[in-house]
Structures are given as C-alpha cells and as structure tokens.
Amino acid sequence: MDQPAAQIKQGPGEGWVAAQVPGRNRRKYIGWTVLVAYSLLLGYRSLYHDAGSGIAGIGLWELHDSRRLLAWIGGLVLTALYQCAYFIPIGFVAAVLVPRGRGRWRRFWVRLCALSMAGTVAVLICVVELVGSGRQAVVLGLVFPLLGCGLGTWMGATWRRGRRACLWFLPKVVLSIILAAVCLGILIGLSLDRTPLPFEAAPVTSAEKRRLVDLFRDKNPVSLEDGRICTLWLTEHDLNVLLSWGLSLGSPAQKASVGLAPGSASLAASVRVPLGAERCRYLNLELAGGVGVEKGVLRLDMDRGRLGGIEVPRRLLGWLSRIVAAQIRLDRRWKPFLEATQEMRIEPKLVRLAYGCVRLPPELRRELLGPTAANEETLASTRAQIDHFLAVVKPLPPSQLTFGLCFETVFALARERSAQRDPVMENRAGIFALGILLGHPRIKEFLGWARAERDEDAARLALARVVLRGRSDWTKHFCVSAVIAVLSDEAVSGAAGLLKEELDADTGGSGFSFSDLLADRAGTTFAIRATCDEAAARAMQARLAGGFRVDDFFPPAADLPEGIPDAQFQSQYGGVGGERYLRLIEEIERRVTGCAAYR
C-alpha cells in the first residue's frame, strides 16, 4: 500500500534540496526577466539611437590632418569599448541561467552553451540595429558585441563557482589587462621605426597641379549626365603626385608612393610620429597585392604586408583582404562609387578607370564631408538668410549695394536668430548665403542643395558688381574662401586659393596674384574667427552690428605683385616654396592678422 507523502522517508539533505527548489526557480525567473528586459532595452536603443552618434565621423576634408585622424581613431576605439561593455550583462546573465556542471569538461560545455546563448542574443540585437539603420550586415560589426558576451560569460561562470573563485577573478582580470598592455606596447614598439622608408615622394609643382586639373576637367562623376561613361587613364606618376599633393595639406613629415604592375599594386607610406620635444619615430606601412573593380564588384587580395618591423602572415592578409573587401562593398558610403565604376584595371605603370554618374543623397554627402558639412538646420537657416537678403537688396539701386552692406545685412539677421538658436550655426549659414550670392553659385553643390530661384539669379547680376576695395574679384575670393574654410578647414581653404593662382599663372591665365592670395587668406580668417566657438560668433555679430569698416577685415592689397606669368613666377620668386615667395606669404599673414577684427 502506498504511504502518504508526508510519511516518505527522506535521505540526508533531501529535505534541504526540496526546500530550496522554489528559491532556485525564483532566481531563474528573475534571470530570464533581466535577460529579456535588457535585450529589449538594447534593441530599442539600436532602433532609435544611432550607434555611431557618440563619435563624430571624419570627412574627406580632414583625412590630411594627422591629429584629427588620430583623434578619430581614438574615438572609434572608445566606441568599440562601449559596444563591448553593453553586452557584458547579457553574457553574465546567460552564464547564471544555464545548469551547473561538475568536472572540467562539463564546465567547459556549460560555458560554451552560455556563450552560444549570449551570442545568439547579440546577433539578434545587431540584426535589429541593421534593419533600423538600413545598413547591410558586416562581419566586423559583431566582433565587439561577441567579445563583450565572452567577458560576461567568464564573469558569470566565476561568480557561480563561489566566493573563493570571485576573489581570484579580479587579480586574473588585472593580470590579463597587464599582459594585453605589454603585448600592445611590444607591437607598437615593433611597428615604429627610427627612419622613414627610403623613397622620395613625387614633387608637386605648379605645372603638375595644372596638368592634373586639366586631366580631371569635365570628368567629375557627380556632374556627369545619366548614361554617360567616362574613361580616365592615370599613370603611376599621376597617382604619386596626387598622393603627395593630398599629404602636403597636413604635416610635411608624411609621404606615400604607389607602384603598378599587371593586375596588382603596391603602397609604401611613412608618417612621422612625435614622441616628445626632440624624439620621433616613423610609422612605416608596406602593402602589395591584387586589386580591381569589375561592374561594381571590388576584388582585393593582399599577399604582402609589413607594418614597421612586423611582417604580416600571408594567410592573415588573405583573411583581412576578404573582410575589408566585404566591408567596402556593403558600406553605404562606398556603394554609390562602386556601383558607378564599370571597370578599374591595373596595367603596367597605368590604371584604367571607367565610371558613370554618381548620385549622392544629401545625408550621404554630409557624411562624406564629415561633421563640418551643412545639416538640414543649417540649410534652413541659409535659405532664410538668402530670402531675407534678397528682400532687402531688391529695392536698392546698384550704387548702394556695397560689400559692407551685404555683411551687415546677413549678420544682423544672424544676431537676431541667435537669440533662440546656436550663433555658430547662424554665422555658418550667413557665410554660406554670402558665398552663394557674392561668390559662386556652385557652392550649392557642396552644400547638397539644388534649389534655384529666378529672383536669386536676377539679384546675382547686380551683386556681381559688389566690390571690395574697388575690386569685384576680391569679393569672390573672400566669400568663396570663407565658405571653404567653414566646410573644411584652414589648410584646405588656403590650398584651394593657392591652386587658383597657380592655374592663373599658366599661359592664357590672368597670372599669379599675391593680392588674390591676401583676399583668400582674409576670407579664411574671417570664417574661422566667426565660427570657432559661441563667444567668438557672438563677438563677430556684435562687431558687424556696429558697421563694416573695411580696414578691420581686409588690409591693403593693391601694392602686392599680381599678373605674374609662370616663367617669371618660377625665376623671380622660386615658385611655391621659394625664398621670395615665402617672404611675401609672411607679409600677407602679417597684414591679415593685424586687422582689428582678427586680433
């Protein structure tokens, strides 16, 4: 006969186990609740919070600046650490939820099960983020979430093993961090050399710049008509001059060179890394392998790589090549350019590039230009500035349209709107409006704004006669340089003005003009002073509210040499970088910085 349940004899400890079952179930219930709630929280964050918003992007204008590039890389590292930390709780809770295991192998399989559970949740959250952002899957995007899950699983498994294991956990973590730091230090030490790579960078002369400008003339992919295919042939020398030209905008202690062979290319680059007041090292990079594009599909197969004294294994290079190629193919910033590329083929000492029209959405254009690009709020303020400006100047006779009146009108509205808005943004919008109306209408293309108005075109004819110290060309130089400085930075704006003068020095041009360079420099300095921070922006608004005095913003320039042909520029001034050229550049800088508005 069956005995009542209350009379069943229980073995040693069985009553304690039975009493603990409800508590264990509660812990599992709480654990599952925490896991689901935290996963939903991360999923919500992925849908409604841009994962990359914590670190500003870097635009094409800024790649030449080593300091900005290093700051951007540091920001990416911090973002990666944040992504790793977000997923540590998921790994921890997953390790707590799985059943315990006795024995080394049993514990190993239990931890593997917990890691698989946490990894599955991480993948699902990443998929939600990709769907919400409209991007495509990239393998590299899962690395740091999975690392966070692994660290969390280790922490959770250690916590379950008891107090003694937890006491040893912190020393293990500290030891792991120390070992990682030592290994990183060794890698950094091996990757930095005492001397740069033994090659000479291609010289960038005024003649080379003019030749490259002529080579790319009328072949801008953004300006091509739909259906038109453009073919461009670039020699190895062309590519090396372009590299030297681009790197010359930043630190002079950096150089790069490419080599071309049938179906493959090589890259050598050296960047000076200062380590103190007098010490420095060089980051030397050498890469070689196959590269090409066929109907929008990128092929990348690196077979040789060296970073300083570290030789990268060929198998690792092959794996990295596939990952990087996939990253580029799926990245929405590269996608329009790849889709427009019909063919990129490398021949001996020559690259053949066939491409069609590239259409860049406004948001992608801003992303490529970086954080300095005009956002929707800035464009709205620019539209308001243009509408207000046209309403003010339309009834005025041409004789009353002065350079000072234009700046006073724009910055008066900027000051009024700054009562409720960001003064830096309002000043940027005012500079954009002046650049469009007084400088060049194609500035709209850089802003990603295609609006065209008849009133605006009609007003531009009258505004073309607005002069600065009696010269209408100085008005354009000043305003266009100011816009470029706002969109990019001081170095790019100065380089653009110098390129314009080097082109003018060619046969048939107006000749090299140091007075035009002063106008460029004055416009650049004005833009920097008016937009560097909130206090400076309000100070510039207040100064212009008191009236525009030309001496405060634009020093005398009529005595500077201009109309210099290229041969004379080379012989008498030593070309760009010559001794007499540098003396005049120092004089221009002295005059501009001496203006009252820029002190």
Q: Is residue 13 part of a domain?
A: no
CA proximity to 282, closest of 260, 302, 303, 256: 256
In the structure, what pLDDT confidence band is assigned to residue 365 with cuts at 50, 70 and 90? low
Residue 536 lies in a domain: yes
pLDDT-derived band at 553, boundaries 50, 70, 90: very high
What residue numbers bound the domain in which 392 lies? 374-598
In a domain, 195, yes or no: no
Residue 173 forms part of a structural domain = no
pTM greater than 0.85: no
- Non-local CB neighbours of 238 within 8 Å, separated by 6+ positions: 212, 215
Quick one: 499 and 581 in the same domain?
yes
Residue where a domain terminates, one of 127, 161, 195: 161
Residue 363 in domain? no
CA torsion angle for 119, 125, 131, 136 (degrees, to 10)?
Answer: -30
Asked if 558 contacts 488 with a C-beta cutoff of 8 angstroms, the reply is: no
Domain boundary among 128, 161, 194: 161
Taken in order 568, 574, 578, 580, the sign of the CA dihedral is negative
Between 186 and 48, whose confidence is greater? 186
Element (H, E) at 319: helix 314-330
The pLDDT of residue 16: 39
Please report the pLDDT score of residue 508 as a whole number: 57
The DSSP call for residue 102 is: -
pLDDT at res. 392: 86
pLDDT at position 7 is: 44
Are residues 384 and 345 part of one domain? no
- Same domain (yes/no): 403, 286: no
594 pLDDT higher than 60: yes
Residue 234 clears pLDDT 80, i.e. is over it: yes
For residues 86-112, give the mean pLDDT: 78
- Please indicate, yes or no, whether residues 353 and 471 belong to a single structural domain of this protein: no
pLDDT value at residue 140: 59
Residues 533 and 426 in one domain: yes
Distance of CA 141 to CAs 34, 91, 149, 242, 325, Å? 25, 18, 14, 32, 14
- The tokens describing 25, both together, are 């179930």
Residues 344 and 247 in one domain: yes
The average confidence (pLDDT) of the chain is: 79
- Residues 352 and 398 grouped into a single domain: no
C-alpha to C-alpha distances, 19 to 4, 363, 433, 587, nearest whole angstrom: 19, 61, 77, 90
Mean pLDDT of 68-72: 64
Average pLDDT over residues 257-275: 87
**Structure confidence at residue 137 (pLDDT):** 46
pLDDT higher than threshold 50 for residue 445:
yes
Please tell me the least confidently modeled range out of 156-160, 201-205, 249-253, 320-324.
249-253
189 has a pLDDT exceeding 90? no
Q: How far apart are CA 57 and CA 70, in angstroms?
A: 12
Q: What is the pLDDT of residue 227?
A: 80
The reported pLDDT for the residue numbered 101 is 62
**Average pLDDT score over residue span 321-327:** 81
- Highest mean predicted confidence (pLDDT) among 250-264, 441-455, 497-511: 250-264
Judge if 393 and 483 occupy the same domain. yes
Q: What is the pLDDT confidence band of residue 362, given thresholds at 50, 70 and 90? A: low
Claim to verify: residue 244 and residue 328 sit in the same structural domain: yes
pLDDT band at 492 (very low <50, low <70, confident <90, very high): low
* Residue 136 sits in the same domain as residue 253: no
Whether residue 247 lies inside any domain: the answer is: yes
Mean local confidence (pLDDT), 140-147: 78
Strands (E), 165-295: 192-193, 230-235, 254-261, 264-274, 280-294
Mean pLDDT of 501-529: 78
Q: Are 35 and 97 in contact (CB under 8 A)?
A: yes
Element (DSSP H or E) covering residue 297: strand 297-307
Q: Summarize pLDDT for 519-532 with one digit per residue, the tens.
A: 999 999 999 999 98
Note the pLDDT tens digit of each residue in 403-417: 999 999 999 999 999
Greatest mean pLDDT range, 18-32, 439-453, 550-564 = 550-564
- Regarding whether 238 and 305 lie in a shared domain, the answer is yes
Query: Rounded CA gap, 75 and 79, in Å?
Result: 6
C-alpha closest to that of 387 among 423, 421, 419, 430:
430
Q: What distance in Å separates the CA atoms of residue 512 and residue 557, rounded to the nearest whole number?
A: 14
* Mean pLDDT lowest among 140-144, 276-280, 451-455: 451-455
Is 197 contained in some domain? no
Whether the pLDDT of residue 3 is over 50: the answer is: no
**Local structure of residue 438 (DSSP, 8 states):** I
Q: What is the pLDDT of residue 325?
A: 83
| pLDDT at 124 exceeding the cut of 60 | yes
Whether 193 is covered by a domain: the verdict is: no
Angle subtended at Cα 502 by Cα 498 and Cα 508, rounded to the nearest 5 degrees: 145
Residue 199 is encoded by which pair of tokens?
């090659």
Q: What is the pLDDT of residue 21?
A: 47
Q: How many domains does the chain have?
A: 3
Predicted confidence at residue 410, as pLDDT, reads 93
61 pLDDT higher than 90: no
Q: Is 96 strand, coil or helix?
A: helix
3-state secondary structure of 333: coil
pLDDT for position 449? 63
Residue 533 neighbours by CB distance under 10 Å: 10
What percentage of the chain exceeds 70 in pLDDT?
77
* 336-360 pLDDT per residue, tens: 888 888 889 988 888 999 998 887 7
Residues 6+ apart with CB under 8 A from 487: 61, 369, 372, 373, 374, 446, 447
**Mean pLDDT in residue range 124-128:** 78
pLDDT > 90 fraction of the chain, expressed in percent and rounded: 17
User: In which band, very low, low, confident or very high, does the pLDDT at 554 lie, cut at 50, 70 and 90?
Assistant: very high
pLDDT value for 103: 63
Are 324 and 398 part of one and the same domain?
no
Last residue of a domain, one of 101, 135, 161: 161
Between 148 and 16, whose confidence is greater? 148
DSSP SS3 for 272: strand
